[in-house]
Amino acid sequence: MIDSCSIEAKSLISIERALLIIKQSIAPVHEIERVVLKIARNRILSSPVYCPINIPPDKNSAMDGYAFSSSDRKPNQSFSLSQAGTSWAGKPYDNKLKKNECIRIFTGAVVPDEADSVIMQESIEKSENNIIFPANTIAGQNIREAGCDIKIKSELLTTPKKLSAIDIALLASAGIYDVPVYRKLNIAFFSTGDELTAIGNPLKAGQIYDSNRYALYGLLSNSNFNIYDLGVIADDKLLLEETLVSAANTHDVIISTGGASVGDADYIKEILEKCGTVAFWKIAIKPGKPLAFGKIKNCYFFGLPGNPVSVIATFHKIVFPALQHLAGIPIQKAIQLLAVCTSDIKKEKGRQEYQRGILTQNKPGEFHVKSAGKQGSNIMSSMSRANCYIVLPINSTGVSVGEQVVVEPFENII
Ligand code: AMP
Ligand code: MG
């Protein structure tokens, strides 16, 4: 699937095509581990879970009140039953309920087999040890049957499934202690560039601080990933080759930023062609046109552009979907919604653009979006202000105030 010589490697391909190739080229992990519920949140369930018990396990009361048998009712008349005992939550009434008997019962407490109804405590009157039920007492109310939520042996959770806090509560309600999940991905990342200085050091002439590793550090913080920061690697062919080949032995994925285009100091392409299988792509998106995807031994490699905004956009649009697929979960499409654009936006034909926008919702509930500011792929301030991408199709030539545009809120894509 990964073919450096293909025509696609030289021409501009659509993002959909790039994702399809990625999906066909990446084999999801299959190794499984068991994790206890407290650390299972956001992990990927590897096989369906069946419920070992009925939930709830027993017929129980939905109210504080009195449990009785509807056969003791008198048609259109009030009736009186003697209170034989009490069923507390966790402490059931352990005798049989006889004819003309009722019991005091509390929410969640077991309803005796002989009873089929619970009346709420506000509806009765008491007379010594007798409980007087009104003439309109209804049969069969306020009872939660055993298994009314989930039946024993039925499917509790199905795959594919990223476990949410709610799923974990559901598993706990079935008494399940641990679950099988796909193992975590081991992901290494590094920055390249002689101009890069790690934060904490003063800048020398011509230097800039390395921000891309910090972007990746945040973007890769995920329950399904073990991440390894390999630091800044200079524009040194030998060093880059050593770093890549050695990281490929011990990781599932390597992500680099910078050095991936065609400048004199851009060595990534050359090294990958020597050490692995590589597709260099020009994806028809902006920001983030040049991107390398390939494989060194059994390790997948993503060579992202150097410009910080391009790193983030290509991570969102290409790398994260690929990691989802590798981790064993279907690629989730970003949620899109329509918003009225309140800025004029310039665009040239030719690439799908992900401009950085600020999305708001007014009182009647309409979505409005405006540009977050300058849109250069080096402009991090507007990326930081933004809360969404404004998605402009390949053939769009810009947007005027008042036109509707498609937006993708960040919260749903990260
Ligand atoms: P390159 O792809 O290496 O030519 O880099 C493109 C641009 O991104 C240049 O202006 C670089 O200085 C900048 N750049 C590359 N890597 C980083 C980084 N880790 N942090 C911030 N800027 C970077
Ligand atoms: Mg560079």
Q: What is the pLDDT of residues 28-68, one digit of tens each?
A: 999 999 999 999 999 999 999 999 999 999 999 999 999 99
How high is the pLDDT of residue 4? 43
- Which residue, chain included where needed, has tokens 């972007």? 215
C-alpha torsion 131→133→138→141, nearest 10: -30
pLDDT value at 284 more than 70: yes
**217-249 per-position pLDDT tens digit:** 999 999 999 999 999 999 999 999 999 999 999
The DSSP H or E segment spanning 61 is strand 60-61
**341-385 per-position pLDDT tens digit:** 999 999 999 899 999 999 999 999 999 999 999 999 999 999 999
Calculate mean pLDDT across residues 107-131: 97
Q: Kindly give the distance from the C-alpha atom of residue 17 to the centroid of ligand 2, in angstroms, as a whole number.
A: 27
pLDDT value at 263 more than 90: no
Least confident of 2-16, 82-96, 329-343: 2-16
More confident residue, 6 or 352: 352
**Residue 92 CB partners (closer than 8 Å, separation 6+):** 58, 109, 110, 112
pLDDT value at 413 more than 80: no
Backbone torsions φ then ψ of 298, nearest 5 degrees: -100, 15
Say whether 382 sits in a helix, a strand or coil. Answer: helix
CB 292 within 8 A of CB 269: yes
Ligand nearest to the CA of 303: 1
**Residue 105 CB partners (closer than 8 Å, separation 6+):** 61, 63, 64, 65, 66, 67, 86, 87, 93, 111, 118
Q: Which of 189, 190, 194, 196 to mutate to test the pocket of ligand 1 (most atoms within 8 A of CB)?
A: 196
Q: Kindly give the distance from the C-alpha atom of residue 251 to the centroid of ligand 2, in angstroms, as a whole number.
A: 24
* Per-position DSSP letters for 115-178, written without gaps between them: --EEEEGGG-EEETTEEEEPTTPPTT-SEE-TTSSB-TTSEEE-SSEEPPHHHHHHHHHTT--E
**122-175 per-position pLDDT tens digit:** 999 999 889 999 999 999 999 999 999 999 999 999 999 999 999 999 999 999
How high is the pLDDT of residue 156? 98
Ligand 1 pocket member 310 (CB < 6 A): no
Calculate mean pLDDT across residues 270-281: 85
Q: Please name the residue whose Cα sits nearest to atom 15 of ligand 1.
A: 306
Ligand nearest to the CA of 263: 1
Backbone torsions φ then ψ of 302, nearest 5 degrees: -120, 115
Percent of the chain whose pLDDT exceeds 70: 96
How high is the pLDDT of residue 265? 64
Ligand 1 pocket member 263 (CB < 6 A): yes
CB 302 within 8 A of CB 255: yes
Measured from the Cα of 210, ligand 1's closest atom is 20
Ligand nearest to the CA of 215: 1
Ligand 1 pocket member 92 (CB < 6 A): no
Ligand 1 pocket member 194 (CB < 6 A): no
Ligand 1 pocket member 210 (CB < 6 A): yes
pLDDT value at 273 more than 90: no
Find the largest Cα–Cα distance for the chain.
Answer: 98
Q: Kindly give the distance from the C-alpha atom of residue 25 to the centroid of ligand 1, in angstroms, as a whole number.
A: 28
How high is the pLDDT of residue 8? 55
- Which residue, chain included where needed, has tokens 């410009």? 307
Say whether 182 sits in a helix, a strand or coil. Answer: strand
pLDDT band at 96 (very low <50, low <70, confident <90, very high): very high
pLDDT band at 5 (very low <50, low <70, confident <90, very high): very low
Q: Kindly give the distance from the C-alpha atom of residue 76 to the centroid of ligand 1, in angstroms, as a whole number.
A: 84
pLDDT band at 7 (very low <50, low <70, confident <90, very high): very low
Q: Kindly give the distance from the C-alpha atom of residue 307 to the centroid of ligand 2, in angstroms, as a whole number.
A: 9
Q: Kindly give the distance from the C-alpha atom of residue 306 to the centroid of ligand 1, in angstroms, as a whole number.
A: 4
Q: Please name the residue whose Cα sits nearest to atom 5 of ligand 1.
A: 306
Average pLDDT over all residues of the chain: 94
**Residue 312 CB partners (closer than 8 Å, separation 6+):** 215, 219, 383
pLDDT value at 264 more than 70: no
pLDDT value at 412 more than 80: no
Ligand 1 pocket member 314 (CB < 6 A): no
CB 253 within 8 A of CB 185: yes
Percent of the chain whose pLDDT exceeds 90: 87
Residue 373 CA to residue 231 CA, distance in Å, equals 31
Say whether 203 sits in a helix, a strand or coil. Answer: coil
CB 256 within 8 A of CB 196: no
pLDDT band at 86 (very low <50, low <70, confident <90, very high): very high
Ligand 1 pocket member 208 (CB < 6 A): yes
CB 248 within 8 A of CB 297: yes
Distances (CA, A) of 322 to 22, 160, 315, 329: 6, 16, 9, 10
Q: Kindly give the distance from the C-alpha atom of residue 283 to the centroid of ligand 2, in angstroms, as a whole number.
A: 20
CB 327 within 8 A of CB 162: no
Amino acid in position 68? F
Question: What's the pTM?
Answer: 0.91
How high is the pLDDT of residue 260? 79
Q: Kindly give the distance from the C-alpha atom of residue 192 to the centroid of ligand 2, in angstroms, as a whole number.
A: 6
Calculate mean pLDDT across residues 208-225: 97
Radius of gyration for the chain, computed over Cα atoms and rounded to the nearest angstrom: 31
Q: Please name the residue whose Cα sits nearest to atom 11 of ligand 1.
A: 306
